[in-house]
Amino acid sequence: MTWWRSMTMTEVSRTRPAEAVPATLAMAGAAAGENPDLNAYTWLAPPPEPPAGSGGPLAGFGAAIKANICGLGWPTDCASGILHGYRSPFDSTVVERLKAAGGICLGLANMDEFGMGSSCEYSSYGPVQNPWRQGFTAGGSSGGAAAAVAAGLAWFALGSDTGGSVRLPAHCCGVVGLKPTYGRVSRYGLVPFASSLDVIGILARSVADAALVLSVLAGADPRDATSLEAPFVIPDPDVPLPGLTLGVPRNLTAGLQAADVREDFARVLAVAGDLGLQVVDVELPAADDAVQTYLVLASAEAASNLARYDGSLYGIGPREHGTGGPRSTAYGRYVAAARTVGLGPEVKRRILLGTHVLEAGYRQRFYERARARRKVLTDQMNAVLSRIDALILPTASTGTFALGSRLDDPLAMYRTDCFTTPASLAGLPALTIPTGLDERGLPLSVQLVGPHLGEELLVRLGRTLEQALAFRSRKEAPWHRRS
């Protein structure tokens, strides 16, 4: 086994900084050889040039970038046929900042098309395999990003989280997933799915690594009107954690069916108690409807955002697929032909749903009601978080699941997001930490949700829990044994 598959960036920076670049080059080579089996990358960058300078907090470390984040010349196609052949003419803000910090892009990570999915099966490149066990999903939609990190084929990865798309893959692949507060990281250059929910997040091997990357990415950006003047400073690891109170939203966790998830969560709460953290029960009644609220709002925004993909300005047009004539074809038929061929089944389902909930006669019953419900949930979460320090709950109600097992049941797939959508709707930061393995030997995790701009607190809490749970020192993805 090669050491660079399991060491963290912070460990390497501390103990063998000169080896970061050679390790990243070795990682790039391994990715080229292993990606046909894992399918974590949709595109591998040319072999990276060693960075000219030695400076920067990410100097020499290679990252997987989700295929909906733009980089100059990259085929940022969102794993969609409708953007086939598109090359981005610019760098997103996060890629600019990553490069300025000395980071290297290893390639674009596979994903559910346009970020719509919880299993990374709705990709025009085919499903991502879970590095813990082939035949199981890597979670979605940032499944390729999480799989690359878990398999040791990237030091860290950038993903996007609209309703749980960083945290669920982190849960399925046994890595750390950080969804920052909405606006803390610029979305400029992130292809939008649902603009009021989309957040660029981080997948990493440890909480400290995720914090390091966030310190590079966070801060205001004049090109994103929703970005916040809120840079992130890594909290000092030597300052002891004060007595904090964690709240368990019992109305959500009471229904946990899977015994192994229930037992793992109880164990985590016991560990938190041993650390001197106070654990109390809280109620978030509006979170019971979070999946429906999210589904209506995200689909509505997606239907609007994806209206621009008509095949005329980039990506495929009907002509490329032989289903239509030249561009003088009647516009409506031309657009329908391009979208019918270029968009996948889940994206079509969401666009149809989004169109329906916005239609006159239905808009108030669905869209306006969901908007109001989001406000109620946000108020409830903020009120609870004014009394306690953070929420603690599982990331998902089960471990990962077999590829194909939920494809014919979209509602079951949507319900996968029941523990992750509340933080997304409220725009709050959330951190997923691997905790243990389920009865099948596949990863489980816990999720911490903090107050607005409470990432510093989440990182401190997360580091402490991570150390106490010692998941990474006990377990690693079997994929590592390949070399």
Partner 1 sequence: MDGMDIDKLARLAGLHLEETERRRLAPQLEEITRFCSGLPATPGQTSVDPGDAAHAENEGQVVRPLDRRIVRENLPHPDGDLIIAPSPLPETDAS
Of 397 and 467, which CB lies nearer to partner 1 in the complex structure? 397
Which residues fall within 8 angstroms of residue 458, CB to CB, at 6 or more apart? 178, 390, 429, 430, 431, 448, 450
Of 405 and 467, which CB lies nearer to partner 1 in the complex structure? 405
Please list the active-site residues: 66, 141, 165
Minimum CB separation of residue 211 from partner 1 in Å reads 26
Given a contact cutoff of 8 angstroms between Cβ atoms, the answer to whether 111 and 95 are in contact is no
Minimum CB separation of residue 187 from partner 1 in Å reads 5
Given a contact cutoff of 8 angstroms between Cβ atoms, the answer to whether 430 and 420 are in contact is yes
Q: Which 3 state secondary structure label does DSSP give 300? A: helix
Of 97 and 339, which CB lies nearer to partner 1 in the complex structure? 339
Minimum CB separation of residue 43 from partner 1 in Å reads 16
What is d(CA 300, CA 306) in angstroms, rounded to the nearest whole number?
10
Minimum CB separation of residue 214 from partner 1 in Å reads 20
- Peptide bond preceding 141 in cis form (omega within 30 of 0): yes
Given a contact cutoff of 8 angstroms between Cβ atoms, the answer to whether 52 and 59 are in contact is no
Of 267 and 415, which CB lies nearer to partner 1 in the complex structure? 415
Given a contact cutoff of 8 angstroms between Cβ atoms, the answer to whether 426 and 197 are in contact is no
Beta bridge partners of 199: 161
Minimum CB separation of residue 96 from partner 1 in Å reads 12
What is d(CA 202, CA 213) in angstroms, rounded to the nearest whole number?
7
H-helix or E-strand containing 446? strand 443-449
Main-chain phi, psi angles of 130, to 5 degrees: -80, 125
Amino acid identity of 200?
I
What is d(CA 180, CA 214) in angstroms, rounded to the nearest whole number?
8
User: Residue 168: exposed, middle, or buried by beta-carbon count in 10 A (0-12, 13-18, 19+)?
Assistant: buried
What is d(CA 1, CA 479) in angstroms, rounded to the nearest whole number?
10
Of 209 and 310, which CB lies nearer to partner 1 in the complex structure? 310
Beta bridge partners of 281: 248
Residues counted in the chain: 483
Of 293 and 464, which CB lies nearer to partner 1 in the complex structure? 293
Minimum CB separation of residue 366 from partner 1 in Å reads 6
What is d(CA 353, CA 356) in angstroms, rounded to the nearest whole number?
5
Of 249 and 354, which CB lies nearer to partner 1 in the complex structure? 354
Minimum CB separation of residue 92 from partner 1 in Å reads 9
What is d(CA 325, CA 339) in angstroms, rounded to the nearest whole number?
15
SS (H, E, C) 73-86: CCCCCCCCHHHCCC
